[in-house]
Amino acid sequence: MGLIRILLSVFSLVFRTLESVGFLWDFSVRLSEFIYGKQRGAIVSGPSNPILKLPAKDIVQYIKQRRMTCVEVTQAFIDRIHEVNPLINAVVADRFHEALEEARGIDKVLDSSELNDEKSVLMTKPLLGVPVTVKESLACKGFPHSAGLVDRKNTIATKNANVVENLLRAGAIPIAVTNCSELCMWWETANNVYGRTNNPYDTSKIAGGSSGGEGAIISAAGSVCGVGSDVGGSVRMPAFFNGIFGHKPSPSIVPNQGHFPKGTSEAFDEYLVMGPLCRYADDLILMLKAMAGPRLHELRLDEEIDLSSLKVYTLDIEGPFLTSPVEPDILMALRQVCSFLQERYDATVQDTHMSLFQYSPLIWSATVHAAENNRFASQNLSNESEALAINPFTEIFKYVLGYSKYHYVTLTIAGIEQVRAPLPNCLPDVASNFVKMGVELREEIQTLLGEDAILLYPSHPSTALSHHRPSLAPFNFSYTSIFNVLHLPVTQCPLGLDRNGLPLGIQIVAGRNNDRLSIAVAKQLERHFGGWDSCYPGKNSQKKQI
């Protein structure tokens, strides 16, 4: 491992040097402008309808108290989607007509003077009348279910994913499905079925991935809450880039059934989780309860949290190998969070050294691919029961010529999987070493966090990048992905804007099944730093900067 560490250090040094002098970035900008033309970003205007600014918990109460109708709420969000979607391209299919019909049905029952069984049942539903959106990779009956793959563009879901069924039972009204990256494999949301999703704070910037459509439409007040999937940060990165809250739950709490692409092993189902994205921290618990399966009780979400004994850890490492250094504004935001928790709750704040975090990209990659026998991309590009239906190397050549129907990241991963299989036996041994490191790190951090501690960790090394730039820093998703293989719950919390008017944020990590602690801390940070409400798109006069 000594030789590997030396090589990684050299690669990281070269990568960061090139990035710091701007060589790769300048080349990328010029190439992008040559291919796509010069881009000028727009800012999505803030919502004017007061309904659009309400959290889900208030909407539910107002509907039940008949202070507003379900139709009013649903129509407000439909109108907002019509207004903002041409700019951000987040919603890719809708059921506006059906949603309004369902809203009218709810209003009819609630307006009845009789207290019948149907009305009594509706009054118990925790998300009654709340319009929600769902990532297109999750099956919603009657909706496209392609995960951005051209070969699946005509695939229509015949039944709902379990998590969607759970939301329906809670009274939510799905109004649309949203864009994702092809096969959910990249942290910029773009594919050859629906195109690219833009950031509402600046449309020349990425919305993140793979749940970028959810992050963008919720941030732009076109949806109250939404559902994303996360195997490497696909809930948290879009939440970060778009200035909203996102939560990666502890494993096996929210059902994965109905998601495409899907894994084939129980181990992979521990890494892939479905999580809520919301504008307000209070809605995270509401959504998590509604989305969860029969193991919800393990989270003890209704237990009171005493933050007076909180322990706060930060990592004193520079950052994982092969990733960019963290920007100063993000580090400043992290320090301000530490200071606030110290002053407000007398929390103990301490740097901790976990050297294995340096190997985050390799630990995640080795662990996830070991769970799927190194064939995740290959099996999901194939037909249901056939072997790999494409030659990724031929397709890469076609991509260079502009003729491939696949995204280059998907092809790269599929190509690596094919090349790796026949290589010498030493490579599986190297990969298994990184898997063992992951197990060791999982045990170490779980012992550290226990029941009363959190880890504060950057959500990403930079705020939202310009389109196409993630290709220059492909491993930067490691800041989020490592926690999937560590089985830990993580809440992404917005923290105002950086000097360029783009959202800042922080990951709040807690011990397994201690989701209530990371969410409780996020609620306090929202009260102090303002959350989405202090910096939503278009609110230029009230932007809060760190």
- DSSP tag of 501: S
Q: Is 244 helix (H, G, I), strand (E, B) or coil?
A: coil
> In residues, how long is the chain?
546
Contact 272, 253 (CB under 8 A): no
- Burial category of 546 from C-beta neighbours within 10 Å (exposed 0-12, middle 13-18, buried 19 and up): middle
CA angle at residue 50 from 67 to 173, to 5 degrees? 65
CA distance 367 to 311: 29
- What are the distances in angstroms from CA 501 to CA 43, 265, 542? 10, 42, 11
Beta strands in 210-269 (DSSP E): 225-230, 245-248
- Asked whether 277 and 233 are in contact (CB, 8 A), the reply is no
Q: Which of 340, 327, 281 is nearest to 462 (CA)?
A: 327
**DSSP per-residue string spanning 275-338:** EEEESSTHHHHHHHHHH--TTGGGG-TTS---GGG-EEEEE-S---TTSPPPPHHHHHHHHHHH
Choose the catalytic residue: 135, 205, 248, 523. Answer: 135
Torsion of CA 420, 421, 425, 431, to 10 degrees: 50
C-alpha distance from residue 465 to each of 205, 229, 238, 443 (Å): 5, 21, 12, 34
Asked if 494 contacts 245 with a C-beta cutoff of 8 angstroms, the reply is yes
What is the rounded distance in angstroms from the CA atom of residue 157 to the CA atom of residue 160?
7
The answer to whether residues 483 and 237 touch, using CB atoms and an 8 Å cutoff, is no
The structure tokens 């129907």 sit at 405
In the set 219, 234, 324, 478, the catalytic residue is 234
Check 12, 210, 324, 360 and give the catalytic one. Answer: 210
Residue 534 annotated as catalytic: no
Contacts of 396 (CB under 8 A, 6+ apart): 404, 408, 411, 412, 415
- Tell me: cis bond preceding 250? Omega within 30 of 0 counts: no
Question: 118 and 242 in contact (C-beta within 8 Å)?
Answer: no
Query: Is residue 135 annotated as a catalytic residue, yes or no?
Result: yes
- Please confirm, yes or no, whether 112 is among the known catalytic residues: no
User: SS3 breakdown of the chain: % helix, strand, coil, rounded to 5?
Assistant: 45, 15, 40
Give the catalytic positions in this structure.
135, 210, 234
